[in-house]
Amino acid sequence: MYLITVFGNLLIILAIGSDSHLHTPMYFFLSNLSFVDICFISTTIPKMLWNIQTQRKDISYKGCIVQMYFFLLFAGLDDFLLTVMAYDRFVAICHPLHYTVIMNPQLCGILVLVSWIISVLDSLLQSLMTLRLSFCRQLNIPHYFCELKQLIQLAYSDKHLNNMMMNFAAGLLGGVPLAGIIYSYYKIVTSICGISSRQGKCKAFSTCVSHLSVVSLFYCTCLGVYLHSAGTHNSHSTAVTSVMYTVVTPMLNPFIYSLRNKDIKRALQAFF
């Protein structure tokens, strides 16, 4: 699954980079999403595979903090890039005549840069907040990677501030992008309903199907993990459900975008 994810997303990046017809805002954001998905799955799975191979379950304290930092970074980037892609689809369908003017290369670069800055600052703050906690020298993390919530729960020092900060960041950085995606698709659906021809409606909606599928998969799995972990104290079961958004979602993204996209198929054929 790890190799499929890495090579699948890498092929999308190479196909977009090699085909000049795909040098558009939509595919620029898609190539960034594919790169982030590779990094996202690489923060946890190689270490887990190494542990399985060596029959060991240990990780250093510094290694644990570093893993948590990059996991939060790329999870946040995934979230923001999906929001930016929703905005791109909103402009393309609701303001098609002004699309090239609004979604110029400068704005696209700024949107991606802002996504990186916010994600870096959030993960840095969360990691620094975790460093102030005290832990036992011999600690068993009931998960297959250093997950923020699990680490905070295992600390024996005061963790009220960490819990408050974690919940605030999750609500702000998770809720605001989701609200933006919902609003964008509300305007998109309203605009599509105003198209008179059935063929025009299908063509407009087809440009959103892949992105909508990825958004649904990402948020449904994340929400499922959150609700599951909140309703059960079974750490093994929580770790299993976490595999859905840390492994399965990044693996399925290349298939969703390539199987339903004629431009990507053509670019891949030309690349090979």
What single-letter amino acid sits at 126? Answer: Q
Which tens digits make up the pLDDT trace of 259-269?
767 888 888 88
Pick from 31, 26, 25: nearest CA to 12: 31
Which tens digits make up the pLDDT trace of 163-205?
888 888 888 888 899 999 999 999 998 888 887 778 777 877 7
Q: Using CA atoms, how far apart are residues 207 and 235, in angstroms rounded to an integer?
A: 40
Q: Using CA atoms, how far apart are residues 173 and 195, in angstroms rounded to an integer?
A: 34
Q: Where are the alpha helices (DSSP H) in 19-60?
A: 25-42, 45-54
pLDDT of 223 > 80? The answer is: no
Assessment of whether the complete model's pTM goes beyond 0.85: yes
Angle between helices 105-131 and 25-42 (to 10 degrees): 20
Burial of 42-70, coded b for 16+ CB within 10 Å and e otherwise, reads bbbbebbeeeeeeeeeebeeeebbebbbb
Domain boundaries along the sequence of the chain: 25-250
3-state secondary structure of 156: coil
Are 212 and 204 spatial neighbours (Cβ–Cβ below 8 Å)?
no
Domain spanning 25-250, CATH class: mainly alpha
pLDDT of 103 > 90? The answer is: yes
